[in-house]
Structure formats: structure tokens, C-alpha cells
């Protein structure tokens, strides 16, 4: 792929994040793992994977200060991840890799493998991992799974807006964002035929994702990660303890 840029979502919840406060910091992105704030780990990995420009979407002053110290551009975090992604896409353009500051285990090879698997015609892509891969790599880790005909899947907090047209997917993302724990509602947006296929266990993730893309006038690709740890981010204390053990 041509030179690509990266956006790191590092916003905080309205009113602050109790998990971050319990860790003694103002924002989750500042929690230290292996002697480094999570944001620093993510930025270092993106650079190692080949990112040309890196921007951080954040509103917490210490996070913004750290991002500048790491040589990143910054932009204000918006009300939700999809809106921050849209603002970042306006700044960085395509192709743009999107990830989160709590993806502390992120490795360069996960990114390069993801980008290498993109089809030439793809506009937007998401990386996902199967339950078996995740449970093999991180036994006992609790993740949110979507059940499809080809298995149970969990997102890996890695997306790629490959072409300028990919911006059209961000409006659809806002809808998906609201229903991310209720996949039947997401599939239901595609019409009764596909919803019936999903409910009968006959809809694969790849087909469902492709249909969502077509609804937005795009070629959307779901890419499987063979690295189960790619689906592990730091959302709660159990995740933090797991990631610290692994690192």
C-alpha cells in the first residue's frame, strides 16, 4: 500500500474514566505498562510498522502533552469514536490506519499482515479474530463476540480507511457503534432476508461485512487475524493484569 498515516483514539469518557482514576492517572492512555504509558507503546509500534504521520485524538491535557512529546499531531477528541475518526480522516486523508491508545499489546507484524491482506479494490477494512485464536492466546480473557456461521469473532481495534471514499463508511459506523453488542440489530439494517440468514446461523462474517459496505456504496473487507492477542485491549482491571503479565 502507498505510504499511510495513523490515527490513535485517546479520548476519555465524559466525567472521566473510573478505571483510569483507580490507576492513578487522568486518562487510560497514560496507564503505564512495562515502564511506558500505553499511548507511547502504541505510537512506537505504529512507527515501527511504517506510519508516515501519526495523529492522536484526545482532550485530556496530559495526553495531548505526551502526544506532542512523542512527535505526534493532535486533534480534539469528539463525542464518540466514529466522530473522532471522521475528524482524523479530514486531517490525515487516505490511507489511514485507525487504532486505540489502549491497544497496549499492538505489534508491528499485526499491522503489516493486516495491510498485506487487503484486496486491491477494498475501500475500508477491519481486523477481527476468531474466538479459538483468542482463547488459545489469552485463556480466560473475556471479550465481546459476534456469532456468525463461520464462527465467533471479536474486533481487534484495527481499521483501515484505504481510499478517499472510505469516509462514507463513518456514518454507518455511528449506527454500528450504538449496536456493537447487539449484532442482530446491525444485520437487521440490511433487510429481513439477511437478518433471517443471521438468525438461522447461515450468514458468515465476511458476507455480512461486505453487505454493510455495499449499503454505504463501498467495498468493505473483514480480515482475519491469526494473532489472538490482537483482540486484547485494556478496558478493565483484569485486562490490565493480563497485559502486564504478557509484557
Domain ranges of the chain: 1-102, 106-231
| pLDDT of the residue at 40 | 98
Q: How far apart are CA 24 and CA 22, in angstroms?
A: 5
The whole-angstrom distance between residue 88's C-alpha and the CA centroid of its chain comes to: 14
Q: Tens-digit pLDDT profile for the chain (247 aa)?
A: 679 999 999 998 766 788 999 999 999 999 999 999 999 999 999 999 999 999 999 999 999 999 999 999 999 999 888 899 999 999 999 999 999 999 999 999 999 999 999 999 999 999 999 999 999 999 988 898 988 999 999 999 999 999 999 988 887 766 666 665 566 566 666 667 777 777 778 889 988 888 888 888 899 999 999 999 999 999 899 999 999 999 8
- Written as nine digits, the cell of 154 is 471479536
| pLDDT of the residue at 211 | 84
Q: How far apart are CA 223 and CA 245, in angstroms?
A: 28
**What number does CATH give the domain 1-102?**
3.90.550.10
| pLDDT of the residue at 80 | 85
Q: What is the dihedral of CA 167, 168, 174, 180, to 10 degrees?
A: -100
Contact predicate 208/111, CB 8 Å: no
Q: How far apart are CA 98 and CA 55, in angstroms?
A: 10
Q: How far apart are CA 28 and CA 68, in angstroms?
A: 17
Contacts (Cβ under 8 Å, ≥6 apart) of 12: 20, 26, 27, 28, 58, 59, 60, 63, 77
DSSP assigned state of 136: H
Give the global pTM.
Answer: 0.91
Among the residues of the chain, which ranges form H helices?
A: 18-22, 38-49, 61-69, 81-92, 108-116, 131-137, 169-178, 183-188, 192-199, 205-215, 237-246
Q: Helix, strand, or coil here: 200?
A: coil
- Written as nine digits, the cell of 4 is 499511510
What CATH homologous superfamily does 106-231 map to? Answer: Spore Coat Polysaccharide Biosynthesis Protein SpsA; Chain A (3.90.550.10)
Amino acid at each position: 500500500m502507498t505510504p499511510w498515516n495513523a490515527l490513535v483514539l485517546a479520548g476519555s469518557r465524559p466525567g472521566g474514566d473510573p478505571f483510569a482514576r483507580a490507576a492513578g492517572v487522568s486518562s487510560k492512555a497514560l496507564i503505564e505498562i512495562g515502564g511506558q504509558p500505553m499511548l507511547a507503546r502504541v505510537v512506537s509500534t505504529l512507527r515501527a510498522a511504517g506510519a508516515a504521520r501519526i495523529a492522536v485524538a484526545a482532550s485530556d491535557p496530559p495526553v495531548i502533552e505526551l502526544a506532542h512529546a512523542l512527535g505526534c499531531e493532535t486533534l480534539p477528541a469528539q463525542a464518540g469514536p466514529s466522530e473522532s475518526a471522521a475528524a482524523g480522516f479530514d486531517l490525515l486523508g487516505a490511507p489511514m490506519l485507525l487504532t486505540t491508545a489502549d491497544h497496549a499489546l499492538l505489534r508491528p507484524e499485526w499491522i503489516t499482515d493486516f495491510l498485506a491482506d487487503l484486496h486491491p479494490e477494498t475501500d475500508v477494512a477491519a481486523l477481527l479474530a476468531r474466538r479459538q485464536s483468542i482463547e488459545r492466546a489469552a485463556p480466560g480473557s473475556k471479550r465481546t463476540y459476534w456469532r456468525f456461521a463461520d464462527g465467533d469473532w471479536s474486533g481487534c481495534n484495527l481499521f483501515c480507511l484505504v481510499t478517499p471514499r472510505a469516509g462514507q463508511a463513518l456514518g454507518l459506523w455511528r449506527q454500528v457503534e450504538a449496536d456493537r453488542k447487539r449484532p442482530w440489530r446491525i444485520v437487521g439494517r440490511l433487510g429481513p432476508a439477511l437478518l433471517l440468514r443471521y438468525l438461522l446461523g447461515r450468514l458468515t462474517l465476511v458476507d455480512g461485512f461486505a453487505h454493510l459496505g455495499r449499503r454505504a456504496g463501498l467495498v468493505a473487507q473483514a480480515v482475519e487475524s491469526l494473532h489472538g492477542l490482537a483482540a486484547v485491549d485494556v478496558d478493565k482491571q483484569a485486562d490490565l493484569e493480563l497485559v502486564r503479565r504478557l509484557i
